[in-house]
Copies of this chain bind each other. A is one copy, B any other.
């Protein structure tokens, strides 16, 4: 099987202690034996067993990442960013997909924290109290969410949504439908608040809620029919995925975007720029969310956590072809 420190020790004619020291604290061992050990180690292809190291040192050099849906390109991109920067810092990443299910989330947090040094929770759905209880003691960073006392990375949801509404208002839209997602979504709620606030300042726009759907392509498909049933001239979707589903379904039902109704998504997933009409959407810096979350988490682990606990990245409306003036 895999060579152990014992094998290296035997080959180099030293004790296991010396092997360990030669590799981790080179200044504590003489130059000659050090190179004997290093030679023996590389000859055998020795690498210390992470499990044993983990037990002894109390850290596993592993980070946990929890997402609501790995197949959602938004989270897939975050996952990639998390892995990349974690990898560079010498950490492995174990992922978990909650499938938007709160109970699953709770259970997964428990198993994750047991085998990792720290957690990145992307868009967690659990209520504050439960979440805080669940992560008690594990260094944690959340994204797309703010939880009191927990370092968080969010996009400027309310502002981005406000921009979207202003955009539609400027185009002359006054009756706007909302195809929304899970009520437990923090960023969703923030965006909703941003929308309502902005609508309030205008005073002349009517927001009608089409209901809540699964924040997926299929969910948007469902929502599409509700859109045609409504009298709205524009739709704001919870998600790019939902927006895409709506787009498709509207096409099938013979209503044209943007000629008949304008459509705005959120996230700026790759696909949003590909489809025709290209989707007007709120851009969220997914990679930066992921990579900076890891940076923050590692800072926490090193005890060099920053004073400012919650940082918000700008969210920016990007106008493409799915919105048009009335």
Contact = CB atoms under 8 A, between A and B. Distances in A.
**Number of copies of this protein chain within its complex:** 2
Interface in A85-124: 87, 92-97, 99, 108, 110-112, 114-115
A27 to B, nearest CB: 26
A71 B70 contact: no
A80 B51 contact: no
Contact of A92 (B47, B54, B94): B94
Nearest to A273: B248
A223 to B, nearest CB: 15
A83 interface: yes
A73 interface: yes
B47 A270 contact: no
Interface in A231-250: 244, 247-248
Contact of A274 (B94, B137, B244): B244
Contacts of A115: 50-51, 62, 92
Contacts of A47: 110, 114
A240 to B, nearest CB: 11
B71 A80 contact: yes
B83 A97 contact: yes
Given A49-B114, A92-B115, A274-B271, A97 B71 contact: no
Given A70-B83, A274-B217, A92 B77 contact: no
Interface string A209-230: 0000000010000000000000
A129 interface: no
